[in-house]
Each structure stands twice: as structure tokens, then as C-alpha cells.
Amino acid sequence: MTRVAVVTDSAPKPAGAYSQAVVANGFLYTAGFGPQDPRTGQVAGPSIEEQTAQVMRNIAAVLAEHSLDFSHVVKATVHLQDLHRDFAGFNTVYQSFLQEPYPVRTTVGSDLANILVEIDVVAAVPAER
């Protein structure tokens, strides 16, 4: 099996020993992205809506680096700091980036480090690539 790292300056740099994304066996797997602005390193606002929008922009940048977009995403895993308080606001913004049929998704409450949301996705790479 061949693994190919996907790297872009348009998304936050890894904070440890992991890639922004890896392509393997016809799928692109992203790391979990938080709401940091890749230019400043700062968290994009205090609200779940602002933070979710930045996370989705970060994911979109990584997908674009491999000529993919959200229409290729088949699975998402979402971590919310406060699942009950923030789910509705998160879901509204998340949905605005996607079209039906929506990817499958798991959304859980997690203890996050000073952020409200983290998301990772799996995208199918078209066979012709």
C-alpha cells in the first residue's frame, strides 16, 4: 500500500507527528482540524458558528490541494466541546458547506483544548486519478 501525504499552507500546520491528510487505497483521510486560522494561528472567533466555518474552510483547503471538494466526502467525525449547547449552531454551518446526499457522520462530545469543534473527514478519490 502506498500512502501519499497532502500538504498545504492554506490549512493549519500539524502540531505533532501527523499529516494534514494522507491518500491511500482510493481515499483521502484528513487529520482532525480545529478552528485555527492558518495565516494567524488564532482561533476564529468565540462562537460555534464562527469556529465551525473556519474548520470547514480548513478541510476545504486540504481537499482542494488534492483536487477534491466536499462532494467527495463520504464520512465525517465531529467532536464538540459542549454537544448539547452547540449542536444546532454547528449543524447549521456544517450543512451550509454540503449538498445531499450528505456524508455519514458521527458527532460526539469531547474534551477539547480551548476550542469548541474539531472535524476530520474521509473523501473518496475518483478512480481516474
Measure the CA dihedral 80/85/88/94, to 10°.
-20
Average pLDDT score over residue span 90-106: 98
Domain ranges of the chain: 4-124
Question: 4-124 is classed in which CATH architecture?
Answer: 2-Layer Sandwich (3.30)
Tens of pLDDT, residues 25-69: 999 999 999 999 999 999 999 999 999 999 999 999 999 999 999
**What does the buried/exposed string (b/e) look like for 105-128 if buried means 16 or more CB atoms within 10 Å of the residue's CB?**
eebeeeebeebbbbbbbbbebeee
**What does the buried/exposed string (b/e) look like for 27-49 if buried means 16 or more CB atoms within 10 Å of the residue's CB?**
ebbbbbbbbbebeeeebbeeebb
- pTM value? 0.96
